[in-house]
Every structure is written in structure tokens, then in C-alpha cells.
Structure 1
Amino acid sequence: MPPPRPRSSRRQNRPRVAEDARLRAKRACVGCRRLKEKCDGHEPCSRCLRCGRDCQFSTIAVAASAPSSSRATAAAAAAAPPSKVGDANETERVQCLERLVTHFLGDIPLDVNNLRRITERLKTGPGSNNATGYIDWEDLEGLTLEDESFTVKTLSPGTAHYSGEFSHWNFSQRIRQQLDQRLDHNQSAIQWQGLNEPPASVPVNDSMRGTMKVLEYWRATQLQSPNSHVMDALNCLPPRRVAEFLAHIYFQFAQVNCFFVEEGWLREKLAALYEGSNPTSADSAWVCAVIMVLGIGTQFAHMATGPSKSPPIIKNGKDSELVSEPDVSLTFYQMAARLIPDIIAIASLDSVQACLLLAHYSLPLDTQGLAYTYLGLAVKMAIQNGMHRRYTGNDLDASTVENRNRLWWTAYTMEKRVSILHGRPASITSTEIDVQLPRDLPEFRQYEDPSKFPNMSAMIYMTQRLGDISTAVTLLRRCPKALQPTYFERVLDVCQKLKTWWLTLPPDVQTPNPISPLFRSNSHLKLCFHINDIFVGRPFIFHDSKQASPRAMRDQPSANPGRSSSRASLVSGAVAAAFEVIELLGSLQDTIGLARASYTEFSSCRAALLVMLAQSLNERTERLGAMIEMGMRIIKSMAAGSNVSARSETSVIIALELAVRRLYKDGDGNPGVASVSVNEDTVDNQRSGYERFKEWASLCKGATLPPSARSPIYRSFTPAGFTQYQFMAAIRGGCP
């Protein structure tokens, strides 16, 4: 006879239950039996006292033992009289209704008196009794609530003031309208007085008869900095040909499927700066936007050399950083960041644009921190200008209105995706937005490049559906277990609608073509679509270890095959999307090249690797291992450089991948990346512009200023008494 198994430590550590609680009651009340709850047998029992319900005991004796088999239970139910079957159905019906009440109203007492009070409050109609007393429908006649509306007051073509419904400002305007109606209709009771105008001095007797003037105050312009701050920020400007090269790089590689800057507007501002204009503090917003375009162009400048097929160099078992351009983008950012207080004080359309570009720059550096903060500022200032509401005025032309709409949807889309994918609350809900979607106007298609407007519209739609998926998964997590199938169907419905919509897109979008001029834009759109699939599928990868192991869950047939296959389809869809992401990134790397500063490329590779590593804990296939190995090579190449955030996130993935390898003993724990010599990059027709940029950037590291770089631009933006040597010393001080 084998020796008895020792009890597990987990069972020995269970808290001791009192002997009174271990005793089984000889009888249970009707309420506890109906809800299948444990009853203590007291009259009334503790559960009924806590829930506030009537505690009654049936006079019919309950059998000591029930049939153990389902066949005996079915036979007993078939042999039961019809009245007994009807009572059982009625009991189940009441039980379902009580669960619904508890779900929608919370843990409330379910006694008859409380339920009667709730139903009385739901009664509608003239003369009905309410908790607040008798309400006469005549009291609600003549309401003017429909007159409450938001206000967007245009202060300038780039600045507006928004005031929502039921605000203090709107109520004061309603009072003014009432006064205008009751006073002389030919003259308004109130006139606005500008901030710079002298105070109105109206005699008392005249003020009783004439029009009163009130002070117009919309922005805290008195908090703006002196004009010298803007001139100091312009000291970081490179020679004009370098600036034009960086601007070209920005529009070619950085601005993909979201609208940040209109190209014609940027070129006009650059020309104004290099032709001797003197911006003031009121121009801080658009000056910051121009500087940040150059800074972001610096982040993507390496893309001008073409695709790089060289993996990271391995020295002493560790990845060494690839030799990269001097990070002069930090100088641009530091100069632009000095203007942030003025940008916030101005709170104009250009301010929203500047904050969006600051967020664009910091996305690969600190997504869930600094970039999320800048996006929040952009959304808040856009709301201050009423950009989230449909514009119905006549003060702005169609181009300005379209620019407002595009910037709003960019701010909303970027913050929404960052909020969902990085676990942050959003600044505004979709129910508070009624602004028009962007339109494809000719004013925004001035150049020969193919329009990215369809992809921009598709990006907005996918972000809205990502919000629906996040809401559905959150409700599934929070709902009672009995309602999980209902909310799970909602998740499946949202996913199916998104896949059906994706099939309506052009073939070049569904399968990006490397020879297409929109190959990178279409690839990024498909990467974002796969991120949605990964996001909805990854919560269902893991199984509850307390119930069964993953292998047992796969081998054991489910009682509900439909739901099991639906859950498995979400997981397989997420894994398949991860495979597509890695293959698409590999295609981008071989054709155009991967941008180290691209948030879309790096975050999609990261999400794909995490899903594949999680799935490898359930099953390990040859293709899964090959895709993980390929993804590790790609993410290491993108993390090479001075981006500490990317290197940190990559190190986490490397540690997880090594742990998975040790778990399955597929290798010796070595990542398996061999040392490869770096080949010389192929240079395309933009080599001359890139060489000029590197030549200027090397000046920040202390190199001698060549005669070709000694442009009059240095003298144009050098304050009096500030020599070129001091200027370059300041630039070197701002560089890492």
C-alpha cells in the first residue's frame, strides 16, 4: 500500500475556520435556496438580514439526499407534476431578474418594499408621485434648455475662444440677449472694449441711458516673455540649405498618416526667417513649430542614406551603439522648449501645432510620459479654441477651418492611441466631439507627391474602433461572470466590423507594394491595423493556472465549443498579426529602411514580440521560433543608438526571450546574434544634402567651421555683441 501523500503547504497555510461556521444547517430558508447561497438556518438568517429581504422557511421537508446523476435529476424533473415544473421556471425567472437588478443598480436590498420604491420612481406621466414630490407637467412647459448651445468666438484667424453649454460665460450672454430684447432693439446693451483700449468713463446719468462697455480679456498676454527669447531660440537655426534638407526629410519620412504641418505654410515661414524677419513673442508658437520640424527631420536624417542591412555590432557579448550622427536634434528641442510658456499663454492654432510637434519629437523618447503630456496640452488648447466642435461661424475661410479640423483629429488620434496602448486616461471622450472629419481640399495638395488623405482618414477610423475595442474589453473584465458571454460577443462584434471595413480598402493598402510611392504610408497603416488585432487578442492568451494548465485546456473538450473557438480565434488572430508585423518590418528594412525614431515601427515590433513570446509559453512551433528570432534582430537594429528609452524596452524583451529559451531548452541561452562587420551604406541622390547636414552637425562637436558653412545666416540671427565663436560655443553647450 503506497504511503499517503503529504498535504501541500498551500493547504496547511489556509486560515482556520471556526467550528460554528463549519456546521451545516439542517434547513435553509426559501431565499437562500432560490439563490443557491449558504444559509445558517436561523430565523431570520444572516444573509436575509444583510440583504433586507423576507426570510421564510418552507413547511415541506427537504429530502436528505438528492440524486447524484444528471439522469436521475432529469427523471425526477420529468416525473414532477406540472405545477412543480412551473414553480421551478418561476423561481429561475425571479433569480435572473434579481441578477439583472444587482448588475445595473448595484448591491441594493431586494426586499419587496425597496423594489416597490424603485418602481414607483420609474413611473412617468402626469400626476405621478415622485421621490421629489408631486410634479406637474405644466411646470416643464416653456423651458428654454434647447437654447443652450456652445459658443466659439473668433478672436483672430488663428485664435478663438470656446465656451460650452451651461457655462458662466454662456449664461451671461443669455442675460445680455434678454436685456437686448427688452431694451432698445436698435442698440445693444453691452459693447466690448479691447484690453489695450483706455477704460470707458461713462457718467452715471449717461450710463443709465447709453451703452455700457466691458473689458474684453481672452488670453493672459501679459505673461508672455520679452521678444529676446524668440531671437535666442533662433540661434539654433542651421544654414538655409541644411534647413531645407531637414524639412524635405520631415515630409518624406516623418509625417506619414497624421497631419502636423502643411508643407506650403512651413516653406513660407522658413523663407520669412531666412530673409530677415524679426519675430516677436507673439510669434513664439509658429517659431517653435518650425524649429521642431527641423529637430524631427534630424531624427530621420539617417533615412536619406537608404536601407541599412547591418545588425548591431557585438562586443564582449553586448550590443554596442552604432556610430550615428551627432544628436543635434536635442539642441533644436532645448531651444524650442524655452518658448513653451509663451505657447501656452497664446493658446492659438499655432500653439496646438507646436505641442503636437513637440509630442512627435518625444514619442520615441518618452511615449507614456513627456509625449503624453504634450499631447494633453495640445488637446486642452484645441478645446480652448473650440476645435472639437463643428464650426458654424462665418469669420474663418474654408482652408483655416480645414486646418483646425485636421489638427484636432491628429491630436485626438495620437492621444487616444497612446492612452489605450500605454494605460493612460484620455482627455476627452468621443461623445463630446462633433467636429467634421477632414476633407480633401485642393489647398492641401500643392505638390506632386501623392495624397495621403485616404490613409489619414483610415487612421482616424481605426483609432475610433480601437477605442471601441478597449471599452468592450474593459466591460468584459468588470462585468459579473454570468454576463461575460454577452460582453464577449460585443468584443467579437467590434472586431468583425473592423475586419470587414479593412477588406474594403484598396489592394495596395491591404498588401503594400514596395514599388508604390505610398509604400511606407500604407505599411504604417497596416502596422496600426495589426496592433488593433494584437491588442484585442493578447488578454485571452493566458489561462487561469488554478483551473487547468494550458495544455489541459487545449486537450479537454469544451462544453461550449462556440465560445472556445471564438476565444481561440482572437488569440490566433493576434499571433498571425504579429507574424505579419515582423514580415512587413523586414520588407521595410530591405527596401526603404527602418527609422530609429519611428514610434509606429518600433512599438509594432515590440507588441508583436511580446505576443509571440507569450504564445510560446503555450506552444512552441518552428515558425514561431523563426519569427521571434527575426523580430529580435529587427528590434535590436532599431534600438541601436542614443535612444535610451528604446534600449531599455528592448532589454526587457531580450531578457524575456532568453528566459523562454531556458524554459524550453532550445539553446544555450545565447541570443545567437553573430558579430557582423558594418558595410558602407548606399547613398542615394540626396547625398549632397545629407553631407551638408553632417558637416553642420559636426560643428556642434567642436570641429572647425569651414568657409562654406560661414553663411550670412549666422550674422542675421546673432545678437549685437555676440560673435560667431560665442554662437558656436553656445551650440556646443547645448549638444550632448
Structure 2
Amino acid sequence: MSPSHSNDEAESTAGSTTHNQRLKRSKRGKYVSKACLECRRRKLKCSGEEPCQRCIRYGKECCFSEDHAAAEILRSMNRIGRPRMYGYPPTSGTPSQAGPSASAGPSGSSGMTGAATVALGSQTMGIMQGGNGLTLEERMERLEAKVEALAASRLAEQNGPDASGFQGDTAFEAAGNALKANLTSVKRQLGISLSPSTAPISSITSSGVDPSPTGSTSAADYTYIKRVESQSMPFPNAGEYARYIDFFFEDINPFHSCVSEPEFRARSERFLTRHDVDPADMPFFALNYIIFSCVDILQDVSCENQSKGQLPGWQWFLTADDLVGKRQVTGRGDLALLQFTVYEAFYLMHADKWNAAYNISGLACRLCFQNGLHQQSRYGPDCTPFYVHLRQRILWTAYYLDRRISLSCGRPYAMRDLDLDVNLPDWLDDKLIIPGRPVPPPAPEKSANVYLSAMVAYARLTGDVWDELFSARGAKESTPETILVLDNRIKQWYENMLPTFPLIPRMGEPTRRHLRQELLITTRFNYLRLLLRRRTLIAMNYDRATGQICGDLNVDTVNRLQAFVDELSSPSSFRYHMATTLGGAILFLATLLARYLSQIGLQDMQPIYAESFKTAVQMLRDLAEHLESARRILHNLQDIIHVIETLLSKSGLQGQEEYANFVPTNLDSLFAYGMLDFPAQITDGPGGDLFPSDAINSLDWV
């Protein structure tokens, strides 16, 4: 090839390249004059539309601001938080450690460095001195509002029913906290009054949250006012906090009495005066959050959260669980850690997360062992009478809850009587038991420990039922005589021993708590006796004696519940027991009404059973308008309810054959909760149990 030809080709190639470059430059993307705050924060190109394409694609909240001061602050926050947000190593000039302000928080994220905080404060002051026609007060309010909106957006992104944790964008959050602190300082320098969000907790007013007992609130409704190292945590204002705690000690704690009201309130008063949470107070801080979650799930009257797929109190629950962290595994903490674990199981039980409730109740028992609560002789001479009493209450509450949840799940219980050497707590008035003061005299009519003592005796009987009838060995060796012996033992205790417990005051009018506690014990003993015969009833091969015993127990239960019909719409823990007890009565009465009772000589009882069945179904339907668990039970029983209602509408049926025409041949498959043969419901394969979901496949029988 000649040199001249080569030069021509080179010139041609160069010209083509230059032409392509011009084309690329001419196709440059559209220039936009503004960008949303999210794209500015992430330093990404924005499409300039509202909302922009990037925010639409990633589901972000898109907002624009012409306030250059806000943009400058956000850029500073992004620059300071970048190493933690994206996992990059610290940039030059950003110390990896800077004293307490840079210590790691619960999520493992470090806080802002002291130098960065000072720099941000100085920069904030400089920007505020500028102006674009607004007063300083207006500019401060606008900037605070933007930061709060973005922080709330970050929190909302992390909160949901399936969230594995309650951790937001800690880098953005830490910078936001530093900004708020510096804004407060700037306001003081400029002589501007502080806003309520920067004032002490006692002066914070309700932020539009319904303070009534039926108001359902969540973590996203509150101002960030509690600091845990580098994190700010949502916490109720003074009015909402009082509502939560009052409901807890009025409705929940008397039935699971492991928290001392005077000690809790005294500790809360000291706790509420500080914005920063001491690491030693972390279990108590978490106990507060789990109390909030329990109250929310019991007060959810409208059930709006369930319609959105969110459990009431779930955000509080995740926050509490995150605060405790590994303390539950290691056992590091005070008695508040054990109290927290008991109420964590309580919440999961009411949330229909029974597998998790079973695990947590077992953990509560192991923590009691680990902290020596199971042997009173190990309490030591330094344990005051107050703490001896409190330890007894915690131990026996965990014992009762363990037996209740374990039998409902059809699994072995964790705390055995042979391992316990602890007295039952005295029947004292909880409001008068104060640390450092002499123990008051017994006051059975005001003590929640009367109910606790009765439930401990009941829990021991449930352990006998499990060991002799449903355990691996009991399922193989039990006989009809075993059922008779157990039934006689339960009946004898109920008729002879229970009357010695002053559940109803012998003098004066009983309170609503007294009446509820008596009903709870009576119906649970009824169902423990029914539990012994459940296989026989569902198999439809019971005799006259068995049918009459079960019929009488169920009619008695429905009649007792009917006296509380006015409480169906009132938020309380009692409604949950009403729902499960009504569901059990419907199931057992259906086994009687689906059979031609003349065969076993119970035809005269059929109208009584039918009336009780109709009453129970109507009460459950009314309760389902207010309670998620009632709706779940009603849905599971709808097929058998339809069959029985059809039978009852056919008056004048004569003979077994005519009656059988309206009873499906697959009737046993319509009983939603199957047989109570727990070992048969557990598989050996990787699938675990045969429960269709985390919700239990049997009613809360106990």
C-alpha cells in the first residue's frame, strides 16, 4: 500500500471520529433547572418532573424546594453521613472516632464526629444570616419542617408488618439530630423562642393523636424525643404516655402481674426527665415499648391497621426487640428484661403469631432459671422483701404463660415443677408495695396475686393433662380411665379448692376486674375438662354421659359470657378471651347438634344446645366487627356454622335417616381445628408442623 493511500485512510477515519463526537454532543440529555431533594441528597441526576422518574422508579417521596438553604444543609448532611450510609471507609479529614458523639449505636452505626457537628452548626448559622425575603423565624421553621418530613419518610420506609428490624437511615438521622441541636443553639443566639419539638418532654403537647382509650396510635405519630447513643427514637408525649401506662395497669397487668406499679411509675418519672437513655436503662426502655405494643393491639377497635396489612403496635414491638438485641440471649439485664420477655410473648400471642410466642415464652423461662428466680434460697440476704415478692411474681407469671401457650401450640412446656422451689407471692395490694418500705398487710380483695395463685394451680393441672394424655409417652399409654382420673382431679380442685380463693370480695361490691377474673378461671376450667374429650366429640362416637357433660359445660360457658355482652366493643384484653372461648363453644356445640341426639337419649337437650349455639354465633359475629382474632375464628368455623344453621332451620325432622340427609358425609373435615392429637400434627420433615400459617391451628383452648 502506498504512503499517500494510507494517509488518506487515516484522515478519513479521523474525520469520521470527529463527526461521531459532534453527534454525541448534540444528543446530550435535556438540561433541567431544578432537582428534587432526594436526587440532591443522593447526588444523582433528576428528570426535573414532579414527581421525578427516579423517585417513581424506587418508590421514594419526591419533593422540590427552592430554598437554597435547605439544599445546602442537606448536602452537608449527606457529605457527613456518606461513609456510614454506603459502607465506604471514612474520607480524609473525617476522623473515624471522635469521642462519645461517634460511638456506635444499637444498629452498629457510628454517630457524627464532633468536628463535623461543629462545622455543620457554623454552616447553618451562616446560611441563616442570608435571606430571600423571609424572616429568620420563617426560614428556621421551613428548614425544620423539611428535615422532619424527610426523617419521617425515612422512618416510614422501614416500618411494615414484615420488617425485620426498626432501623432507619442512621446516617441521615444522626445528621438530622445534629442539625436540630444546632438549630436550637442558633435560635438562642438570635433570640428566637424554642419550638415545642425542642422543649422538654413535660411541655410537649399531643400531635393530633386521639387521646381517647379507643385511639389507635403508632410510632410514626410521635416526635423524636429519646436518644439512644447516636439514634433518636420515637416516644409518646406526656399525655399519650400516661394513657398507655394507665390502660396497662388497669387492664393488662392485673391478669399477668409481673410488674410493680409503684416501682414502674417511680422509675418512669426519673426516666422521662432525661432525653438521653442510659445503657443500663435499656431493658426498662424496651419494656416501655412492649407495653405500648400490647396496649395498641388490645385497643384496636376499628381494625384499620389490619385492613392495611399492619398489626397494631408492630412498630413499637420492632423497636423494643431491636433495643434488647442480644440481651435476651446473654441474659444481661435487670428484672425489667424478664418482664419485657413475658410481655413480648403476650403480644405475639394476641397477634396470632403462636410459633414465635412459644419460642419467647420458653426464653422467658430460661431467663428465670439463668437469673436464679426458680430457687428462693438463692435470692441472697441482700434481696429485700420487695424484690423477693417481685421475683416470685415474675417467676409464676412466666410459669403460667408458658403452660398456657405450650398447650395451645400442642408442644412441651419449658418449666417443670421439679425444678422450682419458690413460694407463691402473698396476696398484697400492688399499689402499696413500694421499694425500701415495709411490706403492707395482706389485702386479698385488692390483690392481683389471688388470680395469679389460682392460675398457677390451673397451669399445674394443664401440665398433668399434657404429661398423661398428649405427650409422646402419654399418647401411647393413655386409656379411657386416664381421662376419667384427670377429669375427676380437675373437677375436685374446681369444686373444693377454688372457693377458698377470694376472687370475689366477701364484703363490698366486686369491681369489673373481679368479675372478669372469676369468669376467666371458670371458663378455662370448663375447657380443660372439654379438652380431655375433644377427640371423642369430633369423632362423633360419644355416649350419653360424655355428651351431657360436654353440653352442660358449653351451655354454662355461653351463659356466663352473655353477661358480658356489653363489653364486646370495649377495648380490653378480655375480648380476646371472649373470642377464643366463643369459638370453642361453637365447635363443641356443633358436634352435639350435628348428631341425631335421640340415639343417645339427649333429644330433650337439643333445644337448649341450639339456643346456646345461636347465642354464641351471634356474639362472635358482633365481636368480629371489632377484633381481628374474632374474624379469623369466625372465618375458620363458617362451614360448620352453615351446616348447623341449615339443620336448625329444618323443623320437624324425624328419624336418623331423614336427619342424615342434611349432614354432609365429610362432616369431620368441616371442623376447622381438627383433632387435638398434637403429636399427629407435627411432622418429621423439613416442613415442621401442619399449621397452615404462623397462626395456631387450634383455638386458644387454655
Q: TM-score, normalised by structure 2?
A: 0.52
Unaligned runs of 5+ in 1: 1-221, 313-319, 555-564, 670-736
CA positional deviation for 1:466 = 2.2
- Residue 242 of structure 1 is matched in structure 2 by 240
Does residue 654 in structure 1 map to residue 638 in structure 2? yes
Question: Please, which of 242, 247, 264 is the counterpart of residue 266 of structure 1?
Answer: 264
Question: Is contact 1:298-1:328 (8 Å) kept?
Answer: yes
* Cα pair 2:361 2:405 within 8 Å, conserved: no
1:469 match: 465
Deviations 1:388-429 (A, max 9, x none): 223342131121122111111111101101111331221132
Q: How well do the aligned residues superpose, as a CA RMSD in angstroms?
A: 4.0
The one-letter amino acid of 2:584's match is A
CA contact (8 A) 1:472 1:490 kept: no
- Contact kept in structure 1, 2:490 and 2:525, CA below 8 Å: no
Give, in whole Å, the separation in 1 of the partners of 2:514 and 2:370: 35
Deviation at 1:356, TM superposition (A): 1.0
User: 2: CA distance between counterparts of 1:616 and 1:408?
Assistant: 43
Q: Is the 8 A contact 2:289 2:320 kept in 1?
A: yes
- Kept in 2, the 8 Å contact 1:254–1:300? The answer is no
Q: Does residue 359 of the first structure (1) align with residue 345 of the second (2)?
A: yes
Q: How far apart, CA to CA, are the structure 1 residues paired with 2:388 and 2:326?
A: 24
What residue in structure 1 maps to residue 287 of structure 2? 289
Structure 2 residue runs of 5 or longer lacking an equivalent are: 1-103, 112-166, 168-225, 435-442, 598-602, 652-661, 663-702
Aligned to 2:157: none
The answer as to whether partners of 1:533 and 1:573 remain within 8 angstroms in 2 is: no
1-side partners of 2:349 and 2:245: how far apart? 19
Aligned mate of 2:582, from 589, 605, 612: 605
Instruction: Give how far 1:442 is off.
Output: 5.9
Which residue does the alignment assign to 1:633? 618
Q: Report the Cα distance in structure 2 between the residues aligned to 1:271 and 1:492, rounded to whole angstroms.
A: 49
Alpha-carbon distance, 1:246 to partner: 1.5
| 1:231 match: secondary structure | strand
How do residues 264-343 of structure 1 correspond to structure 2 at under 5 angstroms? Answer: 264-276=262-274, 278-301=276-299, 329-343=313-327
Contact 2:400 2:456 in 1 (8 A): yes
Give the counterpart of 1:445 among 403, 409, 432.
432
Shift of 1:507: 7.9
User: Of 548, 552, 555, which residue of structure 2 is paired with 1:572?
Assistant: 548
Structure with larger Rg: 1
Q: Separation in 2 of the partners of 1:223 and 1:234?
A: 10
Contact 1:257 1:452 in 2 (8 A): yes
Over 3 Å counting, the alpha-carbon distance change for 1:250 and 1:666 in structure 2 is: farther
The structure 2 residue matched to 1:386, chosen from 372, 387, 395, is: 372
CA distance in 2, matches of 1:289, 1:395: 25
The whole-number CA distance in structure 2 between the counterparts of 1:589 and 1:321 is 25
CA distance 1:477–1:465, shift in 2 (3 Å): closer
Aligned match of 1:408 = 395
Q: CA deviation at 1:663?
A: 5.4
The residue matched to 1:255 in structure 2 has which SS? Answer: helix
TM-fit CA distance, 1:474: 3.8
* Alignment-mate amino acid for residue 639 of structure 1: A
Whole-Å separation in 1 of the counterparts to 2:391 and 2:647 = 53
Counterpart AA for 1:285:
P
Query: What are the Cα deviations for residues 567-624 of structure 1, in whole angstroms up to 9, with x where unaligned?
Result: x2xx433332322322222222326855465443322222222211222223472222
Partner of residue 21, structure 2: none
Distance 1:257 1:413 in 2: 11
1:426-449 CA-to-partner distances (Å, cap 9, x unmatched) read 113222222222223566535999
1:255 and 2:242 aligned: no
Number of equivalenced pairs? 410
Q: Of 345, 352, 357, which residue of structure 2 is paired with 1:371?
A: 357
Q: Give the AA of the match of 1:661.
A: E
Q: Following the alignment from structure 2 to structure 1, what is the Cα–Cα distance between the partners of residues 306 and 290?
A: 25
Q: Judging changes above 3 Å, is the alpha-carbon distance between structure 1 residues 432 and 654 closer, same or farther for their aligned structure 2 residues?
A: same
User: 1:635-677: per-residue Cα shift (whole Å, max 9, x none)?
Assistant: 233333573x54333211122211333456649x9xxxxxxxx
Are 1:389 and 1:433, in contact at CA under 8 Å, matched by a contact in 2? yes
**Which of 336, 343, 352 is residue 350 of structure 1 equivalent to?**
336
Q: TM-score, normalised by structure 1?
A: 0.49
Note the alpha carbon deviations across 1:245-284, whole angstroms, 9 max, x for none.
1211111122233213211122123322321252233322
What are the superposed Cα offsets for residues 79-110 of structure 1, whole Å, 9 maximum, x if unpaired?
Answer: xxxxxxxxxxxxxxxxxxxxxxxxxxxxxxxx
Amino acid at match of 2:489: V
Q: CA deviation at 1:225?
A: 6.2
Q: Which moved more, 1:490-499 or 1:626-635?
A: 490-499
What amino acid sits opposite 1:487 in the alignment? T
Distance in 1 (CA, whole Å) between partners of 2:346 and 2:550 is 27
2:624–2:630 CA contact under 8 A, matched in 1: yes
**8 Å contact from structure 1 (residues 534, 608) kept in 2:** no
Closer, same or farther: CA 490–464 of 1 in aligned 2, 3 Å? same
Answering whether residue 530 of structure 2 is matched by residue 534 of structure 1, we say yes
Q: Is the 8 A contact 2:293 2:314 kept in 1?
A: yes
Contact in 1 for aligned 2:257/2:449 (Cα 8 Å): no
- The correspondence for 1:493, drawn from 484, 488, 493, is 488
